[in-house]
Chain A
């Protein structure tokens, strides 16, 4: 129930196209859904995040769509650029019994944007 399932595992998109990465979860106690971007040799960096009371959040070319009833959320990257080539992780947060928030991560999607 703590799992977050992410797809696809890898994605190749042409420059200017739309990249779409999907995640699904089971635990309805998750209360915050961040996306992280990781470049080779670097740690993950927070990209954008959404709470379940909102259906969509947009920041620049990045949009999260959230479907609470289906327990799914997705990241859309509009006008994809070669510089967006990275691994993207979705995550879900739940308050743990110890009083902190624990993140559960999807397994990641390696995005390659080709010129």
Chain B
């Protein structure tokens, strides 16, 4: 069974630009979670999507947004990039049966 996949692996942007990160959940999983892992801060919850709807969001500004597609894959958009947005962005998926979250390898976003 394929795990959670994320693309791209690395992304380099400059301040003020927009970044788009993508996530494909494990087959059969309907929930997708996004986390930001900045150095020394652990994993910070960003967004949760389930059945195509945004169900919950963490304490992040509105320039962090996303969506979930009918095939349950998801996209995270970060607008007006700031230097402090540089981090590893992790996607996790879960099913309603197990609700254990399984993580992808992450996208390393660097803002110059």
Known interface pairs A106-B42, A107-B41; A46-B56 also in contact (CB < 8 Å): no
For chain A, the bracket of interface size reads 20 to 34
B73 at interface (Cβ–Cβ under 8 A)?
no
Inter-chain contact count A-B, CB under 8 Å?
Answer: 54
Contact A102 B42 (CB under 8 A): no
Bound CA span A32–B45, Å: 17
Interface of B is mostly: strand
Q: How many residues belonging to B are interface residues under a CB distance threshold of 8 Å? A: 23
Bound CA span A43–B92, Å: 9
- Chain A residue nearest in CB terms to B40: A107
Known interface pairs A42-B105, A43-B105; A89-B55 also in contact (CB < 8 Å): no
Bound CA span A34–B101, Å: 10
CB distance from A1 to the nearest CB of B (A): 14
- Chain A residue nearest in CB terms to B41: A107
Scan B41-84; emit 1 where CB is below 8 A from any A CB, else 0.
11101001010000110000000000000000000000000000
Q: List CB contacts (< 8 Å) of B96-112 with chain A.
A: 99-106
Q: List CB contacts (< 8 Å) of A51-103 with chain B.
A: 89, 96-103
Bound CA span A107–B106, Å: 17
The contact sample of 9 A-B pairs, CB cut-off 8 A, is: A41-B105, A43-B106, A44-B90, A49-B100, A96-B56, A100-B99, A102-B45, A102-B56, A105-B42
